[in-house]
Structure 1
Amino acid sequence: MSIFGSKQALLAGAAFAVLGAPIAFAAGNAQTATPAPAQQATPAPSPSPTPPSASPAPSPAETAAPEGEGEEQGGEESSAPSTSNARLPTLEELESLDTDELDELLGLKPKYDIPKAQRRETTRVGILDEAEGGLPAASLAKQPQALVRAALTGTQGRLVSRWGHIALRRALASRLAAPNGMSGVEFAGLRAQLLNRMGEFSAARAIAQDVDVDAWNTRLANAAVDSYIATGDIVGACPLAVLRGGYRDDAQWDALRSICSAYGGESGRARNELARMRNAKSRGDLEDIDVLLAQRYAGAAGLGNSTVTIEWDDVDELTPWRYGLAAALGMDIPDRLLDDAGPYYQRASASLPSLPLALRVNGARRAAREGIFSSAALIDLYSQAYAAGGNEGSVGTDAAQLRTAYVDPDPAARVAAIRALWGEDAQIPYDRQVLTAYAAARIPAGDQFSGDAAPLIAAMLAAGLDLDAARWRDVVDEGDAGWGMLAVGLPNAKQPVSNNAIDSFSDKDSSTGRARTGLLVAGLAGLGRISSGTRNGWDRELGLELGRETAWSKAIGRAGEVRNAALVSLLMGLGMQGDDWSRMTPRHLYYIVSALRQSGLEAEARMIAAEAVARG
């Protein structure tokens, strides 16, 4: 079924119409295609969570109050109003004020989190500069802001493709100028929110931290707080609590502000506020467990509540707040709660160093499948497990097998270890192929291991090791599964793929309705590796409708024509939503692969097409 026909509609009502908006072409949008690096098609490094150095002080226009916020929340400090007729507070009134109110009254509350001379501009926001593998800064500057907003808000987060996720993350993390008509702060907030929905919590936090806290609008502030909780960096929200304490009015925010008070040296105030909150009959959405966790966390700052007893017996479900605080405290969470938890908690657990390794490994497997974790990051986690406990437990057993798969001098023993990691199921778990990618690249290509050629090739291409996979092209037979992956996955194809070769692949295709053949044809057509006659013939035979256009296909096609890789990536994410490859139609794959190739992202286009053949 078409993605655009599902309940996960990508845009609703009038918002979808913006996909038909004209796409601007600017010199800054052009991007020159570069060949894939040796031995790997991975197009860019993972974004670093470290924000770039401060840039010169902003212009008055850049320091204007953020969209949707009061004047006091951003921009230059205004002149103080006349106080000639102001009444001085009485001593009794002063004693009733809390610290924040007193600071506000006496003009002691800070307006900025860094000196004015070091405040950063928001003309370009991001953590991956073009020189570091990011996309051109001006890519979206002249695009319709409604189109960019629709792409960012319409993408719910989960993409069917690991490589699609990687490409979208690169675009979202790039240091980009906002579209005309959209502020840099709003643009940063939209991107950070989408990164959170994708499970890229560290990248979302880094995007927020690239903007001075006093300039945050509500959208960016909410995204930042969500990322702090997901990464266990609870006190990361404290600058916001100090500068913008009134931006939210709910019980969870009050508890977070109390934690920040404890870490700011106001232990007595924090103790009283949390105790009052716990004793209150109405705490909004907070339950007893939520306040107890806050007291326990604040106790680590010397509050005296580090011995607070946490009981999970009456807790029916996890929330991000409970999980983030408990994980940051290194507390054990009952299995019954973890078993019923959704994917969010697995994605969050993958990068939380305070959690037990076994729990992190389960999350890391999902993170690897979805593109959040690289193959190297997953291998490192198993290496930690092996260093900590050898081959004890199921994780230790897998870690020991992984070690054999990489270091055993006998190739046959290495292949046996790889097979053991893949398991007995006919459909190999994709995260296991990501895990064994580099081990597969060390297996000599030859007839001795031809029976494992297809899954070995799939494993290598899962990590972008296209040139290592190329060694197997003379081992696989035309029309085999491994041949299909190489037909779309290898660079520098010299001859078009013949109709007979595709026919041979189709004869061996056991997928429902020859779905895998349809994805192969769509990938080859998008890469320009079959003739128009071959494409049209298979289009008719399989009912692929590759020529049918929609507002989305016109928009992504035009973005590809003008070589705007950033806009193509955003629209690609919009068209790749879903939990598995059954949600992806060949028609959508064709437009995505074609636009990526035209915009200069051929490596990503090839890896997505190869993944489709492997997993479709």
Structure 2
Amino acid sequence: MKIFRNGVALSVLALAVAVAAGAQDRPESILPPGFGDPAPTPSPTPAPAATPGGAPSTVQPLPPGYVSPSATPTPTPSATPTPVDLSAYELPAFARRSLADVGAVGPDTGGLGPRAFANSDGQMVERLMRRLDAPIPSRWLSIALRRALVSRVDTPPRVGGADFAAERAWLLLRMGEADAARAVVQAVDVADYTPKLFQVAMQAMLATGDPAGLCPLVEPALTVANDTGWLFARAMCSAFAGKGPQAIPLLRTASRRTGRSVDALLAEKVIGAAAQGRAVTIEWNGVDRLTAWRLGLATATGVAVPDELLAQGRPQVALWRATAPMIAPDVRATLADRAAAQGVISNLALVDLYSEVEASDTANSPAATAARDLRGAFTEKTVDGRLKSLRQLWGGDGDRWTRYGRLVLTARAAANIPASTDYAEDAPRLIASMLTAGLDRPAIRWERVATSGDGWAMLTLADPRARDVAPDAIELYRGSDTSRNTLKARMLLAGLTGLGRLSPEGAQNLAKTFEVRFGQQNAWTRAIDAAATRGDAGTVLLLYAVGMQTGDWRGVPPEVLYHGTAALRRVGLGGEARMIAAEAIARL
């Protein structure tokens, strides 16, 4: 998407990570226009026409190597829905699902409202999804964005429902959300699939380790793409259907394209398992890259993938494996902390996983030790004993993702610790842990204990009572003028300003002191503010993620936190806004 200012084209994505750069549009005020005024009630407005140019020729692929064995594996965009003759597979009219609203989760089961993207230009939204570099550093923003992408929402103007579902699923896969991606592609009737959706659907089934999920798609997919992956899938699906004798010649036909490669052997192994055929041994010698095909079929058949191949992968591959039930619990546990920190695994799911680990025969593994500590954090008879178990879980030499993942693991155990000055030293981590699971009300009990420092800052941001904060308190929080203290204070200022918890005068004075330019306007700020005005919650979340494309929280400008927080509050996602702002303090 291009947005023009003073005759110069500005790219939203080029500006997303540089919101703090450049001169202010209104040098007389550091705050944005209208700050302090009541937020207007969002009302639908016509979506702006997309400007020409800027559309890539292909959807951003998964990391190099994570593709099917096809020569053209990358989903290609369709500016308009591509018709496919699937008359033989059409459902009766009464059973057809509409492409006017596509998704897996409705508002009554946790999804966003149907108008989450409806007033935005669909082609612009697709381009933003396609170019978003995922995963992003915020657990809570990732969770909120997943919610938007799986929701049953009205298809926005200028895109087709099937292709819009494909773009959403493709982004979910890059976020590590394999199960959510699968749910989105399955929310479209096969008769309405476009070539792009067929390709993304294959990636989703492979990411979840479920080759049988390809079977309803095989025959119609082969009418639009003579892809090697679909030829192998046809052979495997024959075996799944109890037609083992037919599967072998179909496998030979597909294998002519690849020879007796590891791709063909993995397909043969699936067929053997389905049709009780001969065993197939998979040798990884000479295999120099791991594709989605190889990962998916290996996961489905219990074949161990060499560590050196897994090490090639980007984070989303580990996230897919962390949620694969076919993989042993102790192996998934080594990946689960990262997945929890990223928002892919919830506190409850993580506790369940470690319960499985404890019940398995892995008594001496690090995961089993953590599982025993987790049990102690819930069951030790004294508070001191439970805190000792929590400290052991929080300790160790893991990376920042693992450390934050352990806070997710202990959220409900932390909520069981009584708020007392006797445990003031542990208060910041207890508060941070509770807030990873959104337990803001149990965390607020600690406000009489955590009267300063990070514990106070997190509680102040997460407080659902929306009480005003004195500017002096932020100055006091910064304390010594170190770079880390200043960064945290700037983020606290940004979060409170976006939440409307500071007076306009106090926010402006602190913004000058901390050199934060909330009033700066550029393509990204105008886009997210406009989406909030239209009431497009899904577009707001997507643009917020665009602004947060960086390796970790240290690279997120406070201006991004401010505009994202303010926009979420305006579209009715104040709870998510508070959790994201508090997360910034916990992870810096």
TM-score by length of 1: 0.80
Question: How is 1:125-204 mapped onto 2 (pairs within 5 angstroms)?
Answer: 125-204=102-181
Q: How big is the shift at 1:314?
A: 2.4
1:532 paired to 2:509: no
Question: Equivalents in 1 of 2:431, 2:562: separation in Å?
Answer: 22
Q: Please, which of 206, 219, 222 is the counterpart of residue 183 of structure 2?
A: 206
Given candidates 539, 542, 546, the residue that maps to 1:567 is 539
1:366 aligns with 338
Which residue does 1:355 correspond to in 2?
327
Amino acid at match of 2:435: L
Q: Does 1:254 align with 2:231?
A: yes
Could you say what secondary structure the match of 1:530 adopts? Answer: coil
1:489 aligns with 2:466: no
**Residue in 1 aligned with 2:89?**
111
Which whole-Å CA distance do the structure 1 matches of 2:505 and 2:352 have between them?
Answer: 48
Task: Tell whether 2:222 aligns with 1:245.
Answer: yes
Tell me the alpha carbon deviations over residues 14-41 of structure 1, each in whole angstroms, 9 at most, x when there is no partner: xxxxxxxxx9933999xxxxxxxxxxxx
Are 1:160 and 1:583, in contact at CA under 8 Å, matched by a contact in 2? Answer: no
How far the C-alpha of 1:595 sits from its partner, in A, is 0.6
Of 448, 454, 468, which residue of structure 2 is paired with 1:474?
448
Partner of 1:96: none
In 2, the alpha carbon distance for the partners of 1:500 and 1:513 equals: 15
Structure 2: distance between partners of 1:273 and 1:425: 51
Show CA shifts across 1:306-342 (max 9, x none): x112112222332221111111101222233334433
State the partner residue of 1:220: 197
Indicate which of 360, 378, 386 corresponds to 1:406: 378
CA distance in 2, matches of 1:167, 1:352: 22
User: Counterpart of 1:443 in 2: which secondary structure?
Assistant: coil
Give, as a single letter, the amino acid of the residue that structure 1 aligns with 2:493. V
CA contact (8 A) 1:186 1:217 kept: yes
For residue 227 of structure 1, report the CA deviation from its aligned partner. Answer: 0.7
| Counterpart in the other structure of 1:456 | 430
1:124 corresponds in structure 2 to 101
User: How many Å separate the matches in 1 of 2:84 and 2:198?
Assistant: 16
Would you say the 8 A contact 1:28–1:137 is kept in 2? Answer: no
CA distance in 1, matches of 2:579, 2:481: 20
The amino acid across from 1:484 in the alignment is A
Partner of 2:262: 289
More deviation, 137-146/584-593: 137-146
State the one-letter code of the partner of 2:313: A
Cα separation, partners in 2 of 1:562 and 1:274, compared to 1, 3 Å: closer
Taking a change above 3 Å as real, the CA distance of residues 536 and 343 of structure 1, as seen in their structure-2 partners, is same
Retained in 2: the 8 A contact 1:422–1:429? yes
Question: Aligned residue for 1:26?
Answer: 44
Identity over the aligned pairs, expressed in percent?
A: 38
- Please state how far the C-alpha of 1:355 moved relative to its aligned partner: 1.0
Q: How far, CA to CA, are the matches of 1:150 and 1:25 in structure 2? A: 24
Q: 1:189–1:223: 8 Å Cα contact kept in structure 2? A: yes
1:425-464 correspondence runs (5 A): 429-464=403-438
- Aligned partners of 2:327, 2:444: CA distance in 1, in Å? 39
User: Would the aligned equivalents of 2:330 and 2:362 in 1 still touch at CA under 8 Å?
Assistant: no
Q: Residues 174-194 of structure 1, C-alpha deviation per residue, up to 9 Å, x if partnerless?
A: 111111222221221121111
| CA separation of 1:4 and 1:545: change in aligned 2, threshold 3 A | farther
Deviation at 1:574, TM superposition (A): 1.9
Match of 1:291, as an amino acid? A
Query: Structure 1 pair 277/237, CA: closer, same or farther in 2 (3 Å)?
Result: closer
Other-structure match for 1:44 = none
- For 2:232 and 2:329, locate their aligned partners in 1 and report how far apart those are by CA, in whole Å: 29
Q: 1:228 to 1:586 in 2, by over 3 A?
A: same
What amino acid sits opposite 1:252 in the alignment? G
Q: Does 1:377 align with 2:349?
A: yes
Shift of 1:136: 1.7
Q: What letter is aligned with 1:111?
A: Y
Change (3 A) 1:563 1:397: same
User: How far apart are the structure 2 equivalents of 1:181 and 1:572?
Assistant: 22
Deviates more, 1:133-142 or 1:606-615: 133-142
Alignment of 1:6-85 (within 5 A): 25-26=43-44, 67=80, 69-73=82-86, 77=87
The answer to whether the 8 Å contact 1:488/1:610 transfers is yes
Aligned counterpart, 2:571: 599
Per-residue CA shift, 1:265-312, capped at 9, x if unaligned?
44334212333554x4x52xx87111111101011221624x112112
Where do 5+ consecutive residues of structure 2 fail to align? 1-10, 20-40, 48-77
Contact 2:15 2:523 in 1 (8 A): no
* Whole-angstrom CA distance in 2 between matches of 1:399 and 1:71: 51
* AA at the equivalent of 1:72: D
Q: For residue 417 of structure 1, what is the amino acid of its counterpart? A: S
Structure 1 residue 218: Cα displacement: 1.5
For residues 208 and 66 of structure 1, the distance between their equivalents in structure 2, rounded to whole angstroms, comes to: 18
Residue 66 of structure 1 and its aligned partner are, at CA, apart by 11
Question: Cα offset for 1:513?
Answer: 7.2
In structure 2, do the counterparts of structure 1 residues 360 and 581 end up closer, same or farther at CA, with 3 Å as the change threshold? same
Contact between 2:129 and 2:171, CA under 8 Å: does it hold in 1?
yes
**Code of the aligned partner of 1:567:** T
Give yes or no for contact 2:12–2:524 (8 Å, CA) kept in 1. no
Once the 2 structures are TM-superposed, how far is the Cα of residue 248 of structure 1 from its aligned partner?
Answer: 2.3
Deviation at 1:493, TM superposition (A): 2.7
Aligned partner of 1:180: which letter? P
Residue 441 and residue 24 in structure 1: after superposition, are their counterparts in 2 closer, same or farther (change >3 A)? closer
Give distance in 2, aligned partners of 1:335 and 1:145.
41
Distance 1:136 1:388 in 2: 42
CA contact (8 A) 1:348 1:363 kept: no
Query: How far off is 1:6 after superposition?
Result: 8.2
Who is 2:52 aligned against?
none
In structure 1, the partner of 2:272 is: 299
The C-alpha deviation readout for 1:162-218, integer Å capped at 9, x for no partner, is 000111111111111111222221221121111111111111111111111121112
Task: Give the C-alpha shift of residue 460 in structure 1.
Answer: 0.7
Aligned-pair distance for 1:135?
A: 1.7
**Structure 1 residue 432 displacement after superposition:** 0.7
* Aligned equivalents of 1:8, 1:224: Cα separation in 2: 31
One-letter code of the match for 1:593? T
What's the CA shift for 1:121? 1.6
1:524 is displaced (CA, Å) by: 0.8
Kindly provide the amino acid, as one letter, of the partner of residue 561 in structure 2. L
Q: State the partner residue of 1:556.
A: 528
Quick one: structure 1 residues 450 and 69, their matched pair in 2 at CA, closer, same or farther if it must change by over 3 Å?
Answer: same
CA positional deviation for 1:374: 0.6
* Alpha-carbon distance change, 602 to 244 in structure 1, aligned in 2, over 3 angstroms: same
